[in-house]
Chains A and B, each alone.
Chain A
Amino acid sequence: MHPRVAPDATAHDPIDPDAILIPRLDRRRWLIGTIGSLTLGGLVMRSRAAAAPVSANPPKAATLPLEPEPHRLVFFDPGEAAFIDAAVARLIPADALGPGAVEAGVTMFIDHQLAGPFGRAADWYMQGPWAHGTKEQGYQRRRTPAEVYRAAIVAIDNNTRKSPGKVFAALAGAEQDDLLHALEDGKLDLGDVSAKTFFMLLWQNTQEGFFADPIYLGNQGFAGWKLIGYPGPRYNYDGAIRDFGQAYPLPTVGLMGRDPSRQPKGPL
């Protein structure tokens, strides 16, 4: 079904999309990269296919459909990643109940989110003038989420370097908890970054990474879903919905099924 439009409504000069979108990549490489990111739910990713020139080492057709390799950080530097690892390990710790946020790949999840449209605030209204409002008026700062993370991590590490003399990641667990509470309560001065804003973002993104589909690189091994008993996205509960009081018997699945070889892998 195609829209019928007035003849001149869509008339425009023919354009070559490649010429605009990928000035320096050959078309085949661009296509493979596109397929990769579409398969992964539109997430901007650096898959092996997109990272290596195809012509140098053409993959065999039979192996093309996803043979995932561990992903690499695309936003955080190693010091920032160490901060996030340390923080999310306190927010959702590994314990007798199962893996925590670090083991589930939450750092890699946040890293990739910040490198993409979320990190850039691509959907947000970012025109000035900029003014401080009431809390009911919501976020009114110029910084994107990616910029908030970057600025806050530097400010916090500078703060703890002065006292007690180590970066956040090197502190003892109880000291890290105290600092996270101080951020949450807005009691730590981070200059022109709001400690509360950073904490809320970090905690929100940590939960997202723990419970989102593994295609986004968190929730590895369905760690978050298995913890709570969510069986993953499933199509049909007609019938099962009347099995009152019964745990759902089928195993956990993700959008890519449940075969571990089909799940994207984090840095483990």
Chain B
Amino acid sequence: MSTRLPPVDVVLVGFGWTAAIIGHELTEAGLDVLALERGKFRDTIPDFAPTHMQDELRYAVRRALFERPARETLSFRNSVDQTALPMRHLGSFLPAAGVGGAGVHWNGQTWRFLPEDFVVRSHTIERYGKNFIPADMTIQDWGVTYAELEPYYDKFEYLCGISGTAGNINGTIHPGGNPFEGPRQRGYPLPPLTRSFMTEKFQAAATEAGFQPFPCPAANTSEPYKNPLGVQMGKCTYCGYCEWFACGNYSKSSPQTTILPVLLAKKNFSYRTECDVTKVNLDSSGKRATGVTYVDAEGKAFEQPAELVILCAFAQHNAHLMLLSGIGKPYDPKAGTGVVGRNYAYQITSSVDVFQDDIVNPFMGAGALGQAIDEFNGDNFDHAPYGFIGGGYIALWNTGGRPIDQQTSVPEGTPKWGGAWKRARAENYLSAMSIATHGSVMSYRDSYLDLDPTYRDIYGNPLLRMTFDFHPNEHKMSRFLTDKAALIAEAMKPRSMKKNYREGHYSIVPYQTTHNTGGAAMGTDRSTSAVNRYLQSWDVPNVFVLGTTVFPQNHGYNPTGTVGALAFWAADAIRSKYLKAQGPLVQA
């Protein structure tokens, strides 16, 4: 039995980055917007104060800012012939819970995808021929181009106050920036972050190795910044507690530091916390959403009617909700039909550790303080000799030096514990560095999401089931990237180095990255995509789906820049098209 509440124009499921953006844009258009968030309210004051936030055990190790599997998890298997088992505690990826979502605990690494990434299928066929794409690989074009998204990338970057050096302004290559990036209409709003000793070392070594290094674009403010909404941010102090922490200094872009001061003051915006949305309700035709059902912290169920339902939860949670609600046809890997759950993807990471003797003070850093090279991302190089699709950036991130689980690497051959291990930690903590690779993962016929037949969540609903493994294309690509990273490591003339290839099956246990994608791909063909190019459900046109859920495959960059751009893109389509003629924005 649920209590029926007064209707609103728009209900947002989740209250992270995408909900904050779309909430702001649609309230500007005069709509009444309500956000429902499963976690708690939190803000810089008092929740993020540095006096308690810089606590590695509580936040990084015990996962204080993330979802609790006791309340929400998924089941996992590598392949369809296995039985999926529940992810009992967090590991490989860390979805957030709470207002601001992952925008609170991210590092701030804010990239654009390459122009070729958005047309990866047609571009690959054009350059390498159809046979270059493995038979089981289901990559597809996005249905939106880089040129179309450029103004929205720009909007997100100026909202956030990104620090960086532009490499390509309107087609003119600028020295010091990323020469491989797509053309941008103007430079970054802020200059790059201050370089540390280790990022200087990467700069010198990568240059010596023949590459073109540049400062990574950062949602950590290199200088004080007032964004276009009039919200003020402060200069980053390089305290080294971005990743998995919240910033107490107004220096990391998040919904709290860029949008909420404006959005929460609006009379036509409201939000409710500790509300788990369990279903999007459809009318008897199944083609129109009437609102959502949610359960509050006391276990009471409510029906919230709305004219427009926008899914703004974490990647796989959006797909889960669509499956539970019957929005779109579920994907069937045997027949290769259906779209919801299709094309789940991830990223593949590896590293090369560098041991040398200069003190580099790893604890002085920022989440997106880094230098990178982009020679081996996307299709920035000729893939023909290598026989794989995709790529990634190679970067030295100076994120921080947390002693329990961040700056822990010791040279090869060191015993795993005991006196020799202790000596190695003492000798290398202040001077070790690590070069990371961040590789794309293509989509495949056998990598997908569906509902688990056995395991249930706290409401008795089936858990989402993830079936995923790395494929030979990704192993080959990651090995290639790791060997290129080793060239830079060698140019640093270290006393020793350690190559950490990513090999074997994908494991849900060790942390890798929270860049989960897919499950409701966007596209131009409704037989292979769940939402159209405006992120509107093909089947239920008053439902829009935001976030990485709509990525048709995952490319070689952190996804938040693209997530932000797509949120502005969808908001613009709703304001300029959907509100004028409610219905499908693309005729199938």
Contact = CB atoms under 8 A, between A and B. Distances in A.
Contact of A138 (B61, B63, B87, B456): B87
Contact of B63 (A93, A123, A230): A123
A22 interface: no
B272 to A, nearest CB: 5
Contacts of A33: none
B147 interface: no
A136 B419 CA distance: 31
A231 B404 contact: no
A118 B88 contact: no
Contacts of A240: 361, 364
Contact of A93 (B55, B241, B365, B418): B418
Contacts of B359: 245-247
Interface in B23-55: 41, 43, 50-52, 54-55
A268 interface: no
A177 interface: yes
Contact of B70 (A12, A123, A134, A203): A123
Interface stretch (A58-66, A125-133, A164-172, A188-196): A125-133
Contacts of B302: 9
A117 B58 CA distance: 11
A105 B509 CA distance: 29
Contact of B237 (A95, A212, A229, A235): A235
Interface string B55-90: 111100111000011100100111000111111111
B417 A91 contact: yes
Nearest to A240: B364
Contact of B78 (A121, A136, A139, A244): A136
Interface string A106-137: 00000000000110011111110101011111
Contact of A124 (B70, B418, B425): B70
A124 B69 contact: yes
Nearest to A139: B88
Nearest to B456: A127
Contact of B416 (A129, A184, A229, A234): A184
A233 B54 contact: yes
B235 interface: yes
A267 interface: no
Interface stretch (A45-53, A151-159, A220-228): A220-228
Contacts of A93: 418-419, 422
Contacts of A56: none
B271 A212 contact: no
B196 interface: yes
B238 interface: yes
A5 B82 contact: no
B426 A97 contact: yes
Nearest to A42: B58
B298 interface: yes
A208 B57 contact: yes
B169 interface: no
B78 A127 contact: no
A242 B194 contact: yes
B305 to A, nearest CB: 11
Contacts of A241: 194, 196, 238, 361, 364-365
A160 interface: no
Contacts of A138: 85, 87-89, 91, 507-509
Interface in B442-462: 454-456
B419 A134 contact: no
Nearest to A247: B359
Contacts of B249: 235
B418 A90 contact: yes
Contacts of A12: 298, 300
Nearest to B421: A92
Given A212-B57, A228-B430, A97 B76 contact: no
B485 interface: no
B416 A3 contact: no
A224 B402 CA distance: 12
B483 interface: no
B222 to A, nearest CB: 10
A92 B403 CA distance: 15
Contact of A213 (B57, B236, B360, B505): B57
A8 B3 contact: yes
Interface residues of B, number: 84
B296 interface: yes
Contact of B418 (A97, A177, A245): A177
Contacts of A229: 426, 429-430
B423 A97 contact: yes
Interface in B89-144: 89-91
A200 to B, nearest CB: 10
A198 interface: no
A233 to B, nearest CB: 3
A208 B70 contact: no
B32 to A, nearest CB: 11
Contact of A245 (B55, B236, B358): B358
A246 B376 CA distance: 34
Nearest to B58: A41
Contacts of B423: 97
Contacts of A125: 69-70, 73, 86-89
Interface string B543-579: 0000000000000000000000000000000000000
Contact of B41 (A3, A10, A231, A246): A3
B5 interface: yes
Nearest to A1: B264
B583 to A, nearest CB: 29
Contact of B194 (A121, A238, A255): A238
Contacts of B403: 211, 224-225, 228, 230
A215 to B, nearest CB: 8
B56 A212 contact: yes
Given A5-B272, A138-B89, A244 B197 contact: yes
Interface in A224-268: 224-225, 227-231, 233-238, 240-248, 255
Contacts of B422: 92-93, 95, 97, 100, 227
Nearest to B401: A230
A179 to B, nearest CB: 13
A203 B418 CA distance: 11
B271 A3 contact: yes
A238 B235 contact: yes
B6 interface: yes
A4 interface: yes
B270 A3 contact: yes
A216 interface: yes
A247 to B, nearest CB: 6
Given A95-B419, A208-B404, A41 B55 contact: yes
19 contacts: A9-B296, A41-B55, A42-B58, A90-B417, A97-B423, A123-B68, A125-B88, A126-B88, A135-B509, A138-B88, A138-B91, A184-B416, A212-B57, A233-B239, A234-B54, A235-B239, A241-B364, A242-B196, A244-B197
Given A124-B89, A125-B73, A247-B359, 9 more contacts: A4-B270, A92-B421, A121-B88, A123-B68, A131-B85, A138-B91, A207-B404, A241-B196, A248-B364
